[in-house]
Chains A and B, each alone.
Chain A
Amino acid sequence: MSYYSQILTVIIINSILAVSLNLVSGYTGQLSLGHATFMGLGAYAATLFALKLQSPFLVSIILGAAVAAFFGFVIGVPTLRLKGDYLAIATLGFGEITKNILLNLKITGGPMGLRGIPKVTNVYVAAAALVLVIFSLNRIINSRVGKSFIAIREDELAAESMGINTTRFKILAFVIGAFYAGLAGGLYAFLFRYINPKDFGFMRSIEILCMVVLGGMGNTYGAVFGAAIITILPEFLRSVSPVVAQYRMVLYGLLLVVMMIVKPQGIISESSLSNKKREKSLEKGGL
């Protein structure tokens, strides 16, 4: 696999992560700082299914995503009763717990991680996954379910008073987000052929959040755009000078600060979806 197609594949996997976090944080308004946890759970589960049970690639990554979704439910039930900062801290805590469990279990290889994963993911597989993810997410966002997510973000009390079981729908958003993140994790494992708990730590969660904030909260294509920039940036910096590349986290921080000042809604904001598009979808029988 050439260097460029490798980078493109990573961009696509990161896009899936960003798009899935965008569902939770951008559309539903629940700030999660533990999104990489679900990616890790998906990656580990998919790998274990493939290595221990010899299940085929497709089955493995889907089962991996399902495991991540299950843990999304388990983590979502207690934490989504919290709001704002408290939720962010709780998700962060769960992320650290999961990382430490992965570090200490025998079956996950402890700090050594898991190796010897077959290389199956390539640009085409990843692209197909991204297309499916975006297609299904768009359908969800434009449905009764997606509108309820946005209503919860806009005003939770009003949403509940209008008949939305807010806890249930927040958990639902979390579970769907975890499923897609787990899928991305599976693709990641089958691309790099080696996984380690440190790949799915707090820094990774922050990186995914950066993609979403940079691209535009509440806009799927913005999230893809953000993922592309954040993935290409360190590669570009490395080509300039390896010293600069070392300071890429500083640059992320700076980028976020500048973004918040100049264009807090992100590069592609939610409202850039035009009325015309919506009217067209109404004519076609959408909601």
Chain B
Amino acid sequence: MELLEGNNLSMVFGGLSALNSVDIKINKGEVLSIIGPNGAGKTTLFNLLTGIYSPTKGEICFRKKEIKNLKPYEITKLGIARTFQNIRLFKEMSVLDNVIIGQHCRTKAGVFGAMFKTPSVRREEALVREKVMDVLKFVDLDDVYMEKAKNLPYGKQRRLEMARALATDPELILLDEPAAGMNHQETNELIKLIEKLNNTGKTVLLIEHDMKLVMDISRRIMVLDYGKKIADGPPDEVKNDEKVIKAYLGDDFRRETREIKKVKEAKEVKKAKEAYVC
């Protein structure tokens, strides 16, 4: 079932066309990756889907509802949450407060409720606290909840951004280069986290340059180049697409995969031989 559908999306900044008639379809429960060289329009596409820009042309439907003219906070309320390419946490706020902000659109307490601490506000606050601690446990940050966001190490800041997005109770979560700047081990942890996320029923759309991560967890990959979609399909298909190799992956990648294949074959041959010998 389609969760989100963008048709014929174009975005023009002045005379520069950042996106040119791009179609995107996200099915419920899948992990879709967008890859492509820098400046291909990946983040622009994210900004269109989350309402930061309104597309010059085209439509976006989320759960059959037109969202292209909605403000970012309205889209978040409908169930799309995101993280940012360069971390945008509320730096001076604690880890806990950052995630509490995520719950903003699911709560109602107003000024007078806050001043008089009415029973309904107290109840709501208790629910928020419970929910937020659950989310922090999910991303394994519950031990640093009183820490200021700016004092966390880089990998944890990335996880906190995900926690904040998760606290909005999204159906679709958009991750903009979640593995950027991460070391090997952190990336592996991130892969596990995204898989865990997907297993809880969240649909994930991600932009990523780390091919290991992309190939590991994507059910489908979409490739952008110069604002155009040049490929869309399962990882194996995209990996071997001539256009994609030319535009993004490069011959090196093909060579590498071929070499890996060779090594694998060689290993298999060796195994077979050993088996034969035995």
Residues of A at the B interface (CB closer than 8 Å) are 136, 139-140, 142-148, 150-151, 154-155, 157-166, 172, 176, 270-271, 275, 278-279, 282, 285-287
Contact = CB atoms under 8 A, between A and B. Distances in A.
Contacts, number: 112
A282 B164 contact: no
A151 B82 contact: no
Nearest to B76: A163
Nearest to A175: B111
* Most chain B beta carbons < 10 A, residue from A157, A163, A279, A286: A163
28 contacts: A139-B114, A143-B113, A144-B104, A144-B124, A144-B128, A145-B109, A145-B111, A147-B100, A150-B97, A155-B88, A155-B91, A157-B52, A158-B90, A161-B73, A161-B82, A161-B84, A162-B102, A162-B165, A162-B168, A163-B76, A163-B104, A164-B101, A165-B73, A270-B92, A279-B146, A282-B129, A287-B125, A287-B129
A147 B129 contact: no
Interface string B84-97: 10001111111001
* Most chain A beta carbons < 10 A, residue from B100, B107, B114: B114
A166 B105 CA distance: 12
A146 B110 CA distance: 10
Nearest to B148: A271
A80 to B, nearest CB: 15
Interface stretch (B115-123, B180-188, B252-260): B115-123
A150 B93 contact: yes
Interface string B130-147: 000000000000000010
Nearest to A276: B146
A163 B146 contact: no
B73 A285 contact: no
A287 B71 contact: no
Given A143-B114, A145-B110, A286-B125, A158 B89 contact: yes
A157 B43 CA distance: 15
B146 A275 contact: yes
A138 to B, nearest CB: 10
Contacts of B101: 147-148, 151, 159, 162, 164
